[in-house]
Amino acid sequence: MHPSLSVIFFTTASGAGYGLLALLGVFAPLGVVSRDPLFGFAALALALAAITAGLLSSMFHLGQKQRAWRAFSQWRTSWLSREGVASVVTYIPAGLFGLAWVFLGTVSPAAGVLAALGAVVTVFCTAMIYRSLKPVPRWHNRWVVPNYLALALMSGALWLAFVLQIFGARPAINGLAIAAVVLAAVLKLAYWRFIDAAPATSTAESATGLGAIGKVRLFEAPHTSENYLLKEMGFQIARKHATRLRRIALGLGFALPCLLSFVPLLSTGGPALAATFVAAALGTFGIFVERWLFFAEAQHAVTLYYGRDAV
Domains located in the chain, CATH noted: 5-306 (1.20.1630.10)
More confident residue, 307 or 89: 89
pLDDT, greater one: 33 or 310: 33
Residues 6 or more apart whose Cβ sits within 8 Å of residue 97? 24, 25, 44, 107, 108, 111, 112, 114, 115
Question: Does the structure show a pLDDT above 90 at 206?
Answer: no
CB 293 within 8 Å of CB 249: yes
One-letter identity of residue 292: W
The pTM of this model reads 0.90
Average of pLDDT values for 5-12? 92
Answer positive or negative: Cα dihedral of 95, 98, 102, 107. Answer: positive
* pLDDT band (50, 70, 90) for residue 74: confident
Distance CA 311, CA 306 (A): 12
